[in-house]
Amino acid sequence: MPCCNNSGSGDCLLSACVVKISKNQIYNLSLLVFAVLVLFTPVGTAVKVWVNRLVAVSPFRTPEEHRENIGSYHWDLRTQDGGIYDFSNARDKVVLINFWATWCPPCIAEMPALHRLYKDYGNKVVFLFVTGEDPETVREFLRRKEWDIPAYFPLTSAPEKIYSSSIPVTWVLNKKGDIVIGKKGVAAWDSDEVRDILDVLIAE
């Protein structure tokens, strides 16, 4: 029944003309607002980071019989201070390579754990945090986050065995260049399991 008649009298009661919004409509509207916030605002980045941290688990070690060797150490990177880093300097060392970006929520989600790992193992393991972004953008981002990590910027293509078109991706190499851990996506990098793996690799 319409809330107003067609008599032209104009004496419709206001209470009868109020549009009633169903619970389903409210729910759909809320979902739309949430989707806009997640997709198009900084709030969305914070939500994605939070969710990724919730699902992060410790990465798995690749069994020895299934490990691949990096094959080549031919790779040049630029350091934060503008110098050149020759990846061949990492030969015969334990290495952790993390490909990341400042705009990547999963990368941001796992970085605090990687930062803690770096603070504890930075003098025993070669850490390379590699990004293709503008160095000044990265420097300012790390300053704001208070993450004291060594960022590197590729000058040549990464070795084929560790190349990936997606981020984050992290590789852990033993002293022989074997890929002990290869993890695509977010992970809990300061777990006891990871620390135990690094301790074993360092002692080898």
Question: What tokens were used for 40?
Answer: 């198009």
pLDDT recorded at residue 51? 80
CA distance 51 to 19: 37
Question: What tokens were used for 84?
Answer: 């050149």
- Best CA proximity match to 149, nearest among 194, 189, 200, 105: 189
Same domain, 50 and 72: no
Same domain, 117 and 48: no
CA distance 97 to 152: 10
pTM comes to 0.77
Domain of 99? 58-203
Same domain, 71 and 167: yes
Residue 180 sits at φ, ψ, to 5 deg, of -85, -35
pLDDT recorded at residue 101? 98
Same domain, 151 and 125: yes
CA distance 175 to 128: 15
Render each residue's pLDDT in the chain as its tens digit; 204 residues.
444 555 555 555 444 444 555 666 666 655 554 444 445 555 567 777 678 666 667 899 999 999 999 999 999 999 999 999 999 999 999 999 999 999 999 999 999 999 999 999 999 999 999 999 999 999 999 999 999 999 999 999 999 999 999 999 999 999 999 999 999 999 999 999 999 999 999 999
162 assigned to some structural domain: yes
H or E element: which one contains 108? helix 105-121
pLDDT recorded at residue 31? 53
Same domain, 49 and 74: no
4 assigned to some structural domain: no
pLDDT recorded at residue 32? 55
132 assigned to some structural domain: yes
- Best CA proximity match to 95, nearest among 190, 193, 182: 182
9 assigned to some structural domain: no
Q: How many domains does the chain have?
A: 2
